[in-house]
A and B are shown apart, each in its own frame.
Chain A
Amino acid sequence: MAEQPLPERQSPLEPDYHPGSHGNFEHGVDVILSETRPGSILQLGAWPGEEKRLIEVIRKVTGLALPDGAGGGASSGARAVFGFAPGKFTVVDEAEGLAATFAGVITPAIGTLTDLSHGRTAIRIAGPKAEWVMAKFFAIDFALPAFPLGAGRSTNHHDIFAQIQRSGADQFDIYVFRSFARSFWKALCHASEEVGYEVQ
């Protein structure tokens, strides 16, 4: 069967996505909010004992080497990967079609692949007050030594499950359920008002 082109993806944030400066920005914009709209968001799971083989598959396909340890991750501009649970990883690519690439190499003996590209929304928060705003949402330590560059965390905000990756010293990428994304986005905008925020 010929490959059908995917329909253009609509952003769930659109009715409440207003580029420009908002809130208390007279003294400067301290966080920048944006939707990164990656083409591929995948969840990979390794069967018990197969984690090392899956990490090797991820390295071969994406070129990203996962560091040892819980919640470790890495990113390279267009691609990102991080552990969010024992033996489970989120892999993100700007381009569509990453699921097809992985489908051929994650054998049933290694683990599973779930394509969440249409099921998750990726929101980026960056700026000198990003840690501050994030700390109002999630009861985890956002300081750089406790949450190193590239690392991932699973947590939730009022029952909205969130996967968070630190993609810069003062930048975080948040992956939330698409169906809750607009509600989460509005809450994030409200939380950012006090520091002044810009939507890009």
Chain B
Amino acid sequence: MLITCPYCGPRDVIEFTYQGDGNRERPQPASQDLDAWNAYVYDRLNPAGDHNEIWQHSGGCRAHLRVVRNTITHEILSTAFARGGHKAEGRS
């Protein structure tokens, strides 16, 4: 599986670290909405198909990326820097 890093170009998946589901929306830190926190921590779409994900190019430029990967074929449909408006930005 190759992931095309927007900075480094196509690299083997071994250079990347999966950072989790990119669909999650983190509640405001001060939020006391337990349902929202529960959803953030536990709820996953788990689709059979295209999936928004966060990866880090940990064995290269170390940038965090948002990646759309097909969970059936492992095809990488798009990659972009996570910085800049993605809702999973700043995930912890």
Report if B26 contacts A (CB, 8 A). Answer: no
Which one of A153, A159, A161 lies within 8 Å of B8 (CB-CB)?
A153
**Which residues of chain B have C-beta atoms less than 8 A from A86's C-beta?**
7, 61, 63, 81
Report if B75 contacts A (CB, 8 A). Answer: no
Are B62's CB and A85's CB within 8 A?
yes
B interface SS class: loop
Bound Cα distance from A161 to B8, whole angstroms: 14
Number of interface residues, chain B, beta carbon within 8 A: 15
Bitwise interface map of A from 131 to 146 toward B, beta carbon under 8 Å scored 1, else 0: 0000000011000000
Q: Which of B1-57 contact A (CB under 8 A)?
A: 6-9, 11-12, 14-15
Bound Cα distance from A71 to B6, whole angstroms: 11
Which one of A85, A140, A155, A156 lies within 8 Å of B63 (CB-CB)?
A85
Are A155's CB and B59's CB within 8 A?
yes
**Which residues of chain B have C-beta atoms less than 8 A from A71's C-beta?**
7-8
Choose among A71, A154, A159 the residue with the greatest number of B CB atoms under 10 Å from its CB: A154
Bitwise interface map of B from 57 to 69 toward A, beta carbon under 8 Å scored 1, else 0: 0011111000000
Tell me how many residue pairs across A and B have CB atoms closer than 8 Å: 38
| B29 → A minimal CB distance (Å) | 22
Report if A70 contacts B (CB, 8 A). Answer: yes
Which one of B12, B59, B81, B83 lies within 8 Å of A161 (CB-CB)?
B59
Report if A48 contacts B (CB, 8 A). Answer: yes
**Which residues of chain A have C-beta atoms less than 8 A from B9's C-beta?**
70
Q: What residue of chain A has the Cβ atom nearest to residue B5's Cβ? A: A70
Bound Cα distance from A156 to B11, whole angstroms: 11
Are B7's CB and A140's CB within 8 A?
no
| B19 → A minimal CB distance (Å) | 16
Report if A184 contacts B (CB, 8 A). Answer: no
Q: What residue of chain A has the Cβ atom nearest to residue B63's Cβ? A: A86
Report if A84 contacts B (CB, 8 A). Answer: yes
| A180 → B minimal CB distance (Å) | 14
Bound Cα distance from A198 to B80, whole angstroms: 43
Which one of B11, B61, B81 lies within 8 Å of A139 (CB-CB)?
B11
Q: Which residues of chain A have a CB within 8 Å of any CB of chain B?
A: 48, 70-71, 84-86, 88, 139-140, 153-156, 159, 161
Q: Which residues of chain B have a CB within 8 Å of any CB of chain A?
A: 6-9, 11-12, 14-15, 59-63, 81, 83
